[in-house]
Amino acid sequence: MTGVRSAAVVGLGLIGGSVARDLADRGVRVLGYDRDPATVRDALRDGGLHEALGAGLEGVEKADLVVLAVPVTAAPGVLRQIRPHAGALVTDVGSTKESIVRAAEDAGLGDSFVGSHPLAGDHRSGWSASRTGLFRDARVFLTPTSRTTPAALEQARALWAALGARTEVMDATEHDRRMAAVSHLPQALATALGSLLGEEGLRRADLGPGARDMTRLAGSSPEMWAAIAADNARHLSAAVGAMRARLAALHDALDARDAERLRSFFEEGHLWVATDFGSGQRQ
């Protein structure tokens, strides 16, 4: 990450805090802002933050790169406050990418913006959950705008490489469509299952290992996930609709006591896993 002497991180929770800690560890001067003054105090105390920015992000122009790490629905508003100096990279870490890429273009930051989505995290949130090394060996999707300069894309790659991650460039709409299936739908199902089990008076301690695995995600931040679902409503709604059709088919097969259709239902999922492992064995 040659040439990066200072970086600004906006939102010092799990992801932003982990970026800040890693950058500070690498000798970068970290400027930052969080809407919770206690978080800023803790980050300054722990050495992950060297200088607090004002609520209007005054001083952000001193940074060689800016990382937004706030809930995805808050990101466009924060983006409008940023006026970095020429050549400074602006990126984010949000779990959705289409709206932030559009917001960056609308804010006149199309040249210097590259969306980022690190596939790393935790069900816990806040500065206290942040840590160094969170992005080591993680995949990070990079979503440029239609105007991102090659230099900005290279800066984004270098940032994540310095944090130990592997980057992959992807179109923002394709990213959101894919994430609806591989991340947002699983989260919604874990949450629905958790609330159903709660309604039945069951606790996590009552579950076996499989159901515990399946419901672990339900413990994630409701605020963060409500923002992701709202922002990716189009693609997530399509994925939920496809899942509803599968559950309806299962429901019908159960009501009809149709052993053949039940077998097909379970076989399709099994085949998907078995093909992936190339062994035909139950995994």
Query: Quick one: which H or E segment has residue 31?
Result: strand 29-33
Question: For residue 166, what are the CA distances in angstroms to 34, 40, 162, 253?
Answer: 27, 29, 10, 44
Should residue 93 be labelled a site residue for ligand NAP when binding is judged by CB under 6 A? yes
Should residue 76 be labelled a site residue for ligand NAP when binding is judged by CB under 6 A? no
Should residue 140 be labelled a site residue for ligand NAP when binding is judged by CB under 6 A? no
b/e map of 82-106 (b: 16 or more CB within 10 Å)? bebeeebbbbbbbbbbbbbbebbbe
For 223, the token pair is 């605020």
Q: Which of 90, 185, 224, 239 binds ligand NAP (CB under 6 A)?
A: 224
Should residue 94 be labelled a site residue for ligand NAP when binding is judged by CB under 6 A? yes
Residues 148-187 that bind ligand NAP (CB under 6 A): none
DSSP 187-241: HHHHHHHHHHHHHTT--GGGS-HHHHHHHGGGGS-HHHHHHHHHHTHHHHHHHHH
Residues 9-28 that bind ligand NAP (CB under 6 A): 10-16
Question: CB within 8 A of 200, min separation 6: which ones?
Answer: none
Rounded CA separation 206/258 (Å): 30
Should residue 88 be labelled a site residue for ligand NAP when binding is judged by CB under 6 A? no
Between 188 and 248, name the residue whose CB sits nearer to ligand NAP: 188
Between 227 and 239, name the residue whose CB sits nearer to ligand NAP: 227
Between 13 and 194, name the residue whose CB sits nearer to ligand NAP: 13
Cβ 130 to ligand NAP shortest distance, Å: 7
Between 87 and 126, name the residue whose CB sits nearer to ligand NAP: 126
Between 122 and 171, name the residue whose CB sits nearer to ligand NAP: 122
- Reduce the DSSP state of residue 71 to 3 states and report it: coil
Residues 55-74 that bind ligand NAP (CB under 6 A): 69-72, 74
Cβ 121 to ligand NAP shortest distance, Å: 2
β-strand partners of 114: 91, 144
Rounded CA separation 50/32 (Å): 8
- Using CB under 6 A as the criterion, which residues of the chain lie in contact with ligand NAP when the complex forms? 10-16, 33-36, 39, 69-72, 74, 78, 93-95, 118, 121-122, 125-126, 221, 224, 228
